[in-house]
Amino acid sequence: QSRYDIKIKGKDSVFVDTMSTAISDNRYTHAEMDILGMKMTVLGRATQRRYSVVLYSQTRKYKVNVIDTARLNSGNGQTYTVTRIGAETVAGYPCVHAKLAIAGANKRTVITEDIWTSTTVPGYAQLKQFMDNAHVTVKMMQALQQAGCDGFVVKVTSATDQMSFVMQLVEAERKSFPASMFVIPADYKEGNGFF
């Protein structure tokens, strides 16, 4: 489970969102998100790497999402520069702290993030294997790996003139999940989601 804290500068409000992800030994995934008040669940399987299914609990609908791995792997023209800072402990995990500079396709917009990664987080090996089997080579993850900073993302901080953002791992554990978590519920209908 991860927690996202987003603060808009000049406002008193802080958005606190969460995401919980389950990865099974047979490389099925179940991710529950509550982002800006929109709840959804995304199901995936390594054996069906070009598809995911998005479930919308409020409307009891689902939609099949076709994953364009070529576009995902291309990074949409963005480039990533990683500077390794050093070793730190975050949320109880030994992490590598790095600065990540993300340049947009136009190269004029650069976002800088502090990122902490750890290979000791339970489930990281399954997540890495899932991505490898799905032929997902996200450029950001490649850049981190090439700099010796690969691992599960434990914490990310970023700030711009308009907002600040913190994502932190809350909890990771190995446990059993019911098979029903990884399939479309029988009472869901195919549809457009929130409506």
Specify whether the CB–CB gap between 111 and 101 falls below 8 A: yes
Sheet holding 189-190: strands in order across?
79-90, 93-103, 110-118, 152-159, 163-169, 2-8, 14-23, 28-35, 38-45, 51-56, 61-66, 189-190
- Which tokens is 82 given? 């990683």
pLDDT at 3: 83
Whether 45 and 28 have beta carbons less than 8 Å apart is answered as: yes
For residue 116, count other CB atoms closer than 10 A to its CB.
26
pLDDT at 133 (0 to 100): 52
Q: How confident is the model at residue 114 (pLDDT cuts 50, 70, 90)?
A: very high
Asked if 56 and 62 touch (Cβ cutoff 8 Å), the reply is yes
Q: How confident is the model at residue 132 (pLDDT cuts 50, 70, 90)?
A: low
Q: Per-residue pLDDT for 148 more than 70?
A: yes
Q: How many CA atoms lie within 13 A of 108 on its CB side?
A: 1
Share of the chain above pLDDT 70, in %: 83
What is the sign of the dihedral through the CA atoms of 110, 115, 119 and 124?
Answer: negative
Distance of CA 134 to the CA centre of its chain: 15
Mean pLDDT of 88-100: 95
> Is the separation of the CB atoms in 57 and 69 below 8 Å?
no
In 3D, which of 9, 5, 36, 31 has the Cα closest to residue 127? Answer: 31
Q: What is the pTM of this model?
A: 0.75
